[in-house]
Structure 1
Amino acid sequence: MDLDLWALVLSVVGIAVPGFAFLWEFFFVGRKRLGYRVQMDTTAMEEAGSKYAGVLAGMKPESGAAALVNPSFVLVRIENAGATTIDEHDYQVISDVKVGVRILFPGRTVAGMVVTDLNPRSLHTNFTGENNALARGVIDGADEPIGYITLPRVPLNRPDHYKVLAVLERVKGDKDGPPPKPRIEAGIKGGRVKMTASGTGMSRQTTALLVFMTVVILGLGLVTVFNEDVPLDCATGTVKLTGSTAIEAVMREAGDMYANTCSGASFTYDFQGSSGGLSALQEAGDQLEASPPVLAFSDGAKADLQPQLLPRPVAFMLFTLVVNKDAGIGDLSIDQVRRLYDGQVQNWREIGGNDVPVTLISRKPGSGTRTTFQHQILQGKREAATNSDNCRTRDSGGDPGIIRCERDRTDDLLNGVASVRGALGYAELGAATKRTDLVVVRMDGQKATLEAATHGAYPFWETEFAYTYQEPKADSLAASFLRYLTNQVGKDIIRSHGNRPCDELQNPVLCRPGA
């Protein structure tokens, strides 16, 4: 039995058992229940014979009789302990007899009694009058005297009660040992008579139920621990993740976590840029003539692809410009950025920075980040050709002007900007903000934030798409991993890198192709 089924079983049992116990206790066997409790049963033999006995030594069962020798005192509580009213006709007695309850005292006779602590006070009307069935006596024909008290059929609402205080005399048997315990004789139609607890501790039934619930809760806790972060549809096999280096860190972490959770799954990684990844997916699909175990990620949707490649929006990604600290720049207007990439600004002092030459480090053609930069910031204009391989000196025969170079990967570009004086580049925001050796540039005074991007105040963003070749089978690892990226664990990973899951946007249309 798998962990999810165990969790379901424990949950059902944990709800069903207390529910059944409640119905059984209050609607089946306990709907009508007359409760009783002996709250006191104590002797006063030594006290009655001592010089300090006071009134106890002079107590007599009736006028003219001898004083009590072995007195004892019993306090019995009678109550409605059920879920509904107990009426006169609910007592199981002969209809023309008023007796409802009889209390027996083996080995003792009743010297006196009083009904007390009536709640509500209106119950006293049941104990007045000559035929009210409140009486005391001794059962004839018993081996030893058995005193008794009879009580009327008292209607009791929930939780009405009254008490009977009896003074008893020990008449036979071992005077040194405790007398036999009192007994109750009564019956309730459609219900039962039950000794109730004092309320200062838990009953055995309550203790058993608490132990049972504790076991269920611990069981669910263990299932949760062993089942933590398990996707609902763990799949097996191997899938290749390729494409944009801007999303590489996110996908590597997500792939490793999925594989750690689902032991039959594994992932290979070959992030070479958006175009390179899409080409690899197309080639794998053409060879297999079906959906291959490949997922390609692209910064933005690609309109010039074959129809077999199907996009799925994964995340709303922010990008940013980054600059070398020696440039002395932290904010650039959109116009200044365009002039820089047009080659019109060759030294940072021309736009308020330090006296340091400008160097532009870009991503290579085919990069989704470069395509996003050209589309969103340069208004569709392509970047100029490079004239340097090492980003420090112009190549022989290279174009004059500012030094321009390109790098394959996001990390390589960030390393170049950090190490080359006056260098300017662009990258995915999450990767850039983790660096402390370069400056993340504001644009028109605006930081790169989700709120600014979705409200049009920050222009450098794009939707990250996952591409498949045709529709993968529902039980395949590729399909399962795509679903994993949209559940809570996958979303947490995406957010931890500074991006936002598409379905959490106030305007989800921004995550549609062509938005």
Structure 2
Amino acid sequence: MKFLQKNKIILTVAALLVGVSLIAGCGGKKEEAKAADVQGTVTASGSTALLPLLKPAQEEFQKKYAKATVTISGGGSFTGLNQVAAGSVNIGNSDVPATNEYKDKGLVDHQVAVAPFVFIVNQDVSVDNLTQQQYVDILTGKTTNWKDVGGKDQKITLIHRAKSSGSRATIAEIVLKGAPFTDNAVIQDSNGAVRSAIASTPGSIGYVDSAYADNTIKSLAYNGEKYSADAVANGKYPVYAYEHMFTKGEATGAVKAFIDYVMSKEFQETYVEKNGFVPMTKMKK
């Protein structure tokens, strides 16, 4: 009797182990199948401010999903919105929310990070800080010489973005608050081009996504507050925009997988702040 009971216990344990093994095996196959299902090409265009974040996302995503290819281009936020609305790209990247003209286009918004913007000047400019009103006066063309804002006697050259730029729209809303930009400015087609032009133009000023601010130029404080991720999160530094990845309809397949990866804890905690952005989770509502 004891022998039969012992055998029964052994058989039961063996059956349980086989069951666990089968479940584990099925789970592994499910993960592989999921990875295998993510395939095809994802196309995205728009915000150049978002490029420093999406480039590492593209690289890491393609390592994770070998059958998927992601292509990303700039052109400005409104270019991204127009192209995704027309169906010519899968994702439209934008520094600004979709305006009323896109309401009937079926666009779905995915907020993926916060992009702070900084005002930058050529390294020969002696000013380190400007008030909001001083920025307004320069951007509208009222102030045209650095001596009028505490600098040396030197002409101010404004270098910034075209009307299709979300960066420009952000500055217009947050800093200018409806006042018009001066037409007396040099226009560039990307954040990188603005930085390069300012680095080589004495007396120049402009604005870029903070990820583009490096030692080739000088970053200015805003109302006495220097940019930092903590200053943005705590509400002390107000010049920023939520970054959007718009899709036409709900995202599916590789497009959904790419957006999910950008929004994942793994990517947000490892890459977002390191690349000059503020993670969504860090913002204090």
Alignment TM-score > 0.5, same fold = yes
Pairing 1:307-326 to 2, within 5 Å after superposition: 307=104, 308-326=106-124
On the 8 A contact 1:446/1:457 being kept in 2, the answer is yes
What SS is found at the alignment partner of 1:306? helix
CA shift, 1:405, in A, is 1.1
The answer to whether structure 1 residue 497 and structure 2 residue 278 are counterparts is no
On the 8 A contact 1:298/1:464 being kept in 2, the answer is yes
CA shift, 1:450, in A, is 3.0
Tell me the distance in 1 between the aligned counterparts of 2:279 and 2:236.
Answer: 20
Tell me the distance in 1 between the aligned counterparts of 2:258 and 2:148.
Answer: 50
Pairing 1:125-144 to 2, within 5 Å after superposition: none
2:92 aligns with 296
1:419 aligns with 200
Tell me the distance in 1 between the aligned counterparts of 2:168 and 2:113.
Answer: 18
> What TM-score, normalized to structure 1?
0.47
What letter is aligned with 1:458?
Answer: Y
> What TM-score, normalized to structure 2?
0.83
CA shift, 1:233, in A, is 4.9
Pairing 1:157-168 to 2, within 5 Å after superposition: none
What letter is aligned with 2:212?
Answer: A
2:87 aligns with 284
Tell me the distance in 2 between the aligned counterparts of 1:406 and 1:377.
Answer: 18
On the 8 A contact 2:139/2:158 being kept in 1, the answer is yes
Tell me the distance in 1 between the aligned counterparts of 2:59 and 2:234.
Answer: 34
Structure 1 residues not aligned, in runs of 5+: 1-23, 29-222, 286-292, 387-403, 508-515
What SS is found at the alignment partner of 1:297? strand
1:56 aligns with none
Pairing 1:474-485 to 2, within 5 Å after superposition: 476-485=253-262
What letter is aligned with 2:232?
Answer: A
Sequence identity (%): 24
CA shift, 1:489, in A, is 3.4
- Structure 1 280/271 Cα, relative in aligned 2: closer, same or farther at 3 Å? same
CA shift, 1:445, in A, is 1.1
Tell me the distance in 2 between the aligned counterparts of 1:343 and 1:248.
Answer: 30
Match of 1:248 among 46, 51, 66: 51
Tell me the distance in 1 between the aligned counterparts of 2:57 and 2:93.
Answer: 13
Match of 2:66 among 263, 275, 279: 263
Tell me the distance in 2 between the aligned counterparts of 1:254 and 1:413.
Answer: 24
CA shift, 1:343, in A, is 1.8
On the 8 A contact 1:333/1:444 being kept in 2, the answer is yes
On the 8 A contact 1:233/1:480 being kept in 2, the answer is no
Query: What are the superposed Cα offsets for residues 70-106 of structure 1, whole Å, 9 maximum, x if unpaired?
Result: xxxxxxxxxxxxxxxxxxxxxxxxxxxxxxxxxxxxx
CA shift, 1:376, in A, is 0.2
Bigger shift: residues 319-328 or 493-502? 493-502
- Structure 1 457/495 Cα, relative in aligned 2: closer, same or farther at 3 Å? closer
CA shift, 1:310, in A, is 1.1
Structure 2 residues not aligned, in runs of 5+: 1-5, 10-27
Query: What are the superposed Cα offsets for residues 136-172 of structure 1, whole Å, 9 maximum, x if unpaired?
Result: xxxxxxxxxxxxxxxxxxxxxxxxxxxxxxxxxxxxx
Match of 2:221 among 420, 428, 442: 442
**Bigger radius of gyration, 1 or 2?**
1
On the 8 A contact 1:486/1:501 being kept in 2, the answer is no
1:428 aligns with 209
1:410 aligns with 191
Q: Which structure has the higher relative contact order (CA within 8 Å, separation 6+)? A: 2
Q: Which structure dedicates a bigger proportion of its chain to strand?
A: 1
Tell me the distance in 1 between the aligned counterparts of 2:179 and 2:113.
Answer: 25
Tell me the distance in 2 between the aligned counterparts of 1:418 and 1:328.
Answer: 14
Match of 1:365 among 163, 170, 190: 163
CA shift, 1:431, in A, is 1.3
The answer to whether structure 1 residue 469 and structure 2 residue 248 are counterparts is yes
Tell me the distance in 1 between the aligned counterparts of 2:284 and 2:221.
Answer: 24
- Poorly superposed stretches of 4+, deviation over 6 Å: none
Report how many residues are paired.
255
1:456 aligns with 235
1:84 aligns with none
What letter is aligned with 1:449?
Answer: S
